[in-house]
Amino acid sequence: MFLFISRPTRTLGNRMQEIRERLGADFAAKLDALHRNALRTGLVSIEELQEAFRKTRDIGHNPNRLNLLWLLGIMFFIMVATPVFYETISFLLGVRCFLPNNYLVWEATRPISDCEFCKGVKAPLILANLTMEEFAPHAYSSLPIIVKKAVAHWPAQQHLNYSYIKDLYESFPDSMESDCQFQHFNSDLKSLKDVWAMSEERSNLSHGAPWFVGWSVCHPGVLAELRKLYPRPHFLPVDAEMPHADFILMGYEQGAVMHLDYIPRLMWQAQLKGNKSWFLAPAPECDHQCQPLSFYVEPGDAVLVDTRIWYHANTIPKGQFSLTVQSEYG
Ligand SMILES: [Fe+2]
């Protein structure tokens, strides 16, 4: 082994000496270091030495490495700089949220699903009206659940409608200015002011385009009055934490487009008026293990869906007015 290595070493040494004499001491020292490293790694010819030099030189100029750095830089810009930009613009324009539904950022930052929640799920679990004890085994399930006629006895089902809610808001003048979340979905109504400013003909769809909106009832006075017309669903666990605001969704035909909810708890909805069709889909990474499903709910039904993990969309039958109260528990 020693002879095999020592012979070409002397050849390389002679050549390196010639080069050293022609070049400066600094460069020659670098060549010496390269030479010693080459010997340590067992290189035996000039060609192998040249190949080692090429590889050393290319480490700093690897085009794939540069592409990866660019990609990471662009991802960092989208995930960090974009929200900062929109928040800054929102602040400068004096509006609450310049981009209310930054689904691109939410989608980019949501955790990857393990798909356990949707494996084998082909339909919602449909339960007859039941007690808290009977509901307990299902209370924190990720399986979509319909509890039939669970809210049919609520006064809200008889009394709540567009005019009642409009009058209630107008009885609290500061409620129009409150900083509550508003979703206009596909409609042209951009705020609650627009909703209450509709003509009667547009509001009941006897004239004009269909509309569908949803908003957080975060004004304490309005919320207190509304909650006189509905309790929390009687079958929910008694120790379930409830939020400080509920959500109202109402309108015609259009419904909510496919989305995830970025909320801290499980969701329940009380379908007060109209039928509503639900379309659920697993996260895209679960497409090969799970399947989408659809169902509909009728007035008086309660529906429970973990809308944080199920993508969901709704439609309302043509010509029907849908009114839903939504809240959270957990
Ligand atoms: Fe939703």
Per residue in 37-58, pLDDT tens?
666 666 556 677 677 667 666 6
**Tell me, what's the pLDDT at 60?**
56
Per residue in 105-135, pLDDT tens?
777 778 888 999 999 999 999 999 999 999 9
Give residue 152 CA to ligand 1 midpoint distance, Å: 22
Hey, what are 304's tokens? 């429970």
**Tell me, what's the pLDDT at 33?**
72
Give residue 29 CA to ligand 1 midpoint distance, Å: 68
Least confident range of 55-69, 70-84, 93-107, 236-250: 93-107
**Tell me, what's the pLDDT at 6?**
37
Give residue 262 CA to ligand 1 midpoint distance, Å: 8
- In the three-class reduction of DSSP (H, G, I as helix; E, B as strand; rest coil), residue 259 is classed as strand
Give residue 62 CA to ligand 1 midpoint distance, Å: 46
Determine the Cα–Cα distance for residues 100 and 274; give it in Å rounded to an integer. Answer: 28
Give residue 310 CA to ligand 1 midpoint distance, Å: 9
Give residue 36 CA to ligand 1 midpoint distance, Å: 67
Give residue 261 CA to ligand 1 midpoint distance, Å: 5
Hey, what are 51's tokens? 């190949």
Per residue in 154-192, pLDDT tens?
999 999 999 999 999 999 999 987 789 999 999 999 999
Q: Which of 293, 291, 299 is nearest to 317 (CA)?
A: 299
Q: Residues in the chain, how many?
A: 330
- Which residues lie closer than 8 Å to 276 by C-beta, 6 or more apart? 255, 296, 297, 314, 315, 316, 322, 324
Calculate the alpha carbon distances from 9 to 1, 15, 55, 286 in Å.
13, 10, 21, 60
- Residue with the bigger pLDDT between 123 and 22: it is 123
Give residue 272 CA to ligand 1 midpoint distance, Å: 17
Calculate the alpha carbon distances from 29 to 16, 26, 42, 43, 296 in Å.
11, 5, 20, 19, 80
Most confident range (mean pLDDT) of 25-29, 84-88, 274-278 is 274-278
Give residue 52 CA to ligand 1 midpoint distance, Å: 59
**Tell me, what's the pLDDT at 24?**
66
| Mean pLDDT for the chain overall | 84
Give residue 89 CA to ligand 1 midpoint distance, Å: 26
Give residue 240 CA to ligand 1 midpoint distance, Å: 20
Determine the Cα–Cα distance for residues 67 and 44; give it in Å rounded to an integer. Answer: 35
- Residue with the bigger pLDDT between 27 and 277: it is 277
CB-based contact 265:246 (threshold 8 Å): no
Give residue 264 CA to ligand 1 midpoint distance, Å: 13
Give percent of the chain with pLDDT exceeding 90.
60
Give residue 28 CA to ligand 1 midpoint distance, Å: 70
